[in-house]
Amino acid sequence: MFGVLRRPELRAVWVAEWISDVGNFVTFIALAVFINQLTHSVAAVGLVFALRAAPTFTVGPFASVLVDRMDRRAVMVSTDLVRAVLVGLLPFTHAAWQAYLLALTSGSLSTFFQPARSALLPQLVAGDELVPALAVIETTHQALHTLGPAIAGLVVFLAGARHAFFVDSASFLLSAAFIARVAARGRPARPERRAAVHELLEGIRSIVAAPVVRTYMLLDATIALGAGGVTALLVIYVQDSLHLPGGDYGLVLSLAGLGTVLASVAIAAGDRSSARTPWVVVSALCAGAFVLIVLKPGFAALLPVAFVYGISDAATGLPASAVVAETLPDHLRGRVYGARAALTLFVYAVGSLVFSWAGERANLGVVHGMALAAAVGAGLALLVLVAGGIKHIRRAEAVRLGATREPR
């Protein structure tokens, strides 16, 4: 699978992914800790997660239309450079609203970078190397779910939340330097150029017309709804209920990442000969792991719960990325990846706000709010599968594997 890294351009994007993801986790954890220290409010922490996600479902759909009109490599380099400046300003903030504003602006630029990266990958490789390349990049991203939070937690512990933002700023600069090694591909070939709204609707129609793509997007969204609440409330549980430093929040996320990366490797290793169908069922079940928070586990007991929870991310995320590349033409992919991210992060933001509100002491409390978030995410994912999603995935897998029925 990793043989595709012989290609220098793919390898440059791969290294940039490592660097950028570590930096992103530093800001992700530092910002949660920083806002909690400033406000001592559960809802305020949930709000910062929602604001980081908001640009993806507001600016994102239109940004992805522009990405399909531009050189994707140029988009990635320029957004990395601007984000380096914005994140570098976070240590100089002294009020929550200032941090909110910078996080919102930086998140707006991410809506250009992510669909550009996803749409660029199929331009770097072709044929039989496409799925292995997607698997390598996605597996790498998931691997950073293990290493990234641990490194970020250590940085926050050693440097403090405020100064940790400089690390993410530097990571954007390094990422841009590696992506600049990729040759410009120019603008994608397009049948015709129309108004942005029409092109956005064309991307949405392509999703609706492909049942398997539609199913994976709904699964992503339902799991993200619960994840928004779990992630926001988990930092409160670690700091306020277990009375541990903010850096330990990163260690819990690392165990979730370990579950994600091991599941990613398992999926990628058997993808050419095995159906993806069982993994989506596993994903829906694992999304409910944090229901066990009602037992009020200590730090050591929290780690295996996080590990199981992390499996849900890979079991839908990796197949979903591959399905879009396998099913849809190049000139639509930026819009489709953008629409997928928009839907996922919209419900993630909703989950962050709703379940953080539920987790306030005057309402359900942190423990029961987190358990509710996990139960809702898992329950809705199972509903998507029962309501016809599993049938669409089985049919697509039968075609992909060249069989008349799904292999066992």
Give me the pLDDT at residue 404, please: 38
∠ CA 116-62-192, rounded to 5°: 80
Model-level pTM?
0.67
Q: What distance in Å separates the CA atoms of residue 304 and residue 218, rounded to the nearest whole number? A: 27
104 or 403, higher pLDDT:
104
Q: Is the pLDDT of residue 24 over 60?
A: yes
CB count, 10 Å around CB of 8? 11
Q: What distance in Å separates the CA atoms of residue 249 and residue 238, rounded to the nearest whole number? A: 6
Closest CA to 266 of 235, 311, 300, 228: 311
Fold held by 2-180+195-400: Growth Hormone; Chain: A; (1.20.1250)
Q: Is the pLDDT of residue 177 over 70?
A: yes
Residue 188: both structure tokens together: 């994608």
- Of 142-146, 172-176, 254-258, 303-307, the one with minimum mean pLDDT is 142-146
Q: With contact defined as beta carbons under 8 Å apart, do 294 and 168 qualify?
A: no
Q: Average pLDDT, stretch 50-72? A: 75
Residue 221: both structure tokens together: 């969204």
- Mean pLDDT in the chain? 81
Residue 399: both structure tokens together: 């075609």
Q: Average pLDDT, stretch 329-356? A: 78
Domain limits of the chain? 2-180+195-400
- Of 100-114, 163-177, 282-296, the one with minimum mean pLDDT is 100-114
151 or 358, higher pLDDT:
358
Q: With contact defined as beta carbons under 8 Å apart, do 233 and 372 qualify?
A: no
Q: What distance in Å separates the CA atoms of residue 111 and residue 132, rounded to the nearest whole number? A: 25
Where are the strands (E) in 21-65, listed by range? none
